[in-house]
């Protein structure tokens, strides 16, 4: 006879240390990191219970959900956890304007193009800096998990 506990284990667990690997799109990491650096409401990658060995992390705005009735709350992972610490912050419009003016080549159109190029290069550097393992922080402990990326990571250089 199958008990309620056995059925619950088949569906997953409230214990996030059950997670061995996370799947996430590279674009979601880039978008979350960019939004987190620019917005008042930070973006995260969210993993929702029930937890299992392989889970999916999805782009989410913190505060965009209601309360949680019982059981485990979703995990909110800062997007920087998916990226090597050597990645710079997203270029700001004022920074690219200053850089362009120092080069003596300023025009509104040139600034727009220069800024787009700088942001595109930043996005590619984030994709190139994606890590294969991260520490998942839970309420009681941290737990290492593998990360598998869906979609395009970084442009090949050849």
**What confidence tier does 73 reach under pLDDT thresholds 50, 70, 90?**
confident
Contact 43, 32 (CB under 8 A): yes
DSSP 13: B
pLDDT digits (tens, 9 = 90+) for 120-147: 999 999 999 999 999 998 888 899 999 9
| pLDDT (0 to 100) of residue 153 | 64
Distance CA 21, CA 49 (A): 14
156 vs 107: which has the higher pLDDT? 107
Is the pLDDT assigned to residue 6 strictly greater than 50? no
Q: What are phi and psi of 44, to 5 degrees?
A: -135, 175
C-alpha neighbours within 13 Å on the C-beta side of residue 134: 25
C-alpha neighbours within 13 Å on the C-beta side of residue 96: 21
Which tokens belong to 60?
A: 């989410």
């Amino acid at each position: 006879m199958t008990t309620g506990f056995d059925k619950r284990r088949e569906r997953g667990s409230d214990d996030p240390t059950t997670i061995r690997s996370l799947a996430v799109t590279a674009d979601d990491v880039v978008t979350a990191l960019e939004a987190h650096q620019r917005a008042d409401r930070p973006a995260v990658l969210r993993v929702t219970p029930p937890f299992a060995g392989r889970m999916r992390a999805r782009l989410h705005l913190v505060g965009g959900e209601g309360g949680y009735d019982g059981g485990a709350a979703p995990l909110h992972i800062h997007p920087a956890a998916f990226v090597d610490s050597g990645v710079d912050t997203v270029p700001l419009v004022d920074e690219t304007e200053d850089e362009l003016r120092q080069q003596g080549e300023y025009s509104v159109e040139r600034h727009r193009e220069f800024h787009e190029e700088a942001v595109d290069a930043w996005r590619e550097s984030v994709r190139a800096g994606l890590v294969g393992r991260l520490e998942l922080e839970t309420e009681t402990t941290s737990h290492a998990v593998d990360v598998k990326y869906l979609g395009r990571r970084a442009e090949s250089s050849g």
